[in-house]
Structure 1
Amino acid sequence: MTNGTAETTRVWLVERTYSDDEQNLIVLTYATTDGSQYFRKERALTSCSDARETTAAVAAEPSNLGSIDDPELETQYAAEATRMAKQYDTDDTI
């Protein structure tokens, strides 16, 4: 499934969590609309005024995508990615 360019795959934000291992680290998880693949992006917050935008979708290199082997998580990610794709444009800030 590609909806990016010929070299990338479009993935949609499905989860935003704080890292358990490191303070001030946010983990953004994006997934394909079929829920079969995911892309994780880690973002360190450097200060209280650190305001970097998070977009609804990103184009990920296929080599940076992981496979989802848990059917329940795959269903959850597919539902959320599909909802995001219907509700937002790719460059919308979330």
Structure 2
Amino acid sequence: MWLVERTYSDDEQNIIILVYATPDGERYFRKERALVSFSDHRDTTAAIDVAPDAVGRVDDPETRERYAAEAKRVRAANDPGDLV
């Protein structure tokens, strides 16, 4: 799955939300990270492996298209283990 979105949570401080999706945009995996300090540094890779039972289905056609386009862009520009 390829990184398609990185946002900061509006509800809680210091939460980064990473969304990875399949190249067709049909499935996604959401990962939340809590930053505990300014020096907290964790790598984010262009792609990750996710167990099939841990992913959700993207039902909205516009979101699916956006995820597919972004996955294609990230995939073309990066190897899976590249830091982004």
TM range (shorter): over 0.9
Q: Taking structure 1 as the reference length, what is the TM-score of the superposition?
A: 0.87
Structure 2 stretches lacking a partner, 5+ long: none
Q: How does 1:26-37 map to 2 (within 5 A)?
A: 26-37=16-27
Post-superposition shift, 1:73?
0.5
Counterpart in the other structure of 2:32: 42
The separation in 1 between residues aligned to 2:37 and 2:54, in whole angstroms, is 28
Counterpart in the other structure of 2:44: 54
Q: Which has the higher strand share?
A: 1
The separation in 2 between residues aligned to 1:66 and 1:19, in whole angstroms, is 19
The separation in 1 between residues aligned to 2:9 and 2:41, in whole angstroms, is 18
RMSD, matched Cα: 0.6
* Equivalent position to 2:13, from 16, 20, 23: 23
Displaced runs of 4+ in structure 1, greater than 4 A?
Answer: none
1:90 pairs with 2:80: yes
Q: Percent identity among equivalent residues?
A: 60
Partner letter of residue 47 of structure 2?
A
The separation in 2 between residues aligned to 1:82 and 1:59, in whole angstroms, is 16
The separation in 2 between residues aligned to 1:16 and 1:83, in whole angstroms, is 15
Q: Taking structure 2 as the reference length, what is the TM-score of the superposition?
A: 0.97
Post-superposition shift, 1:19?
1.1
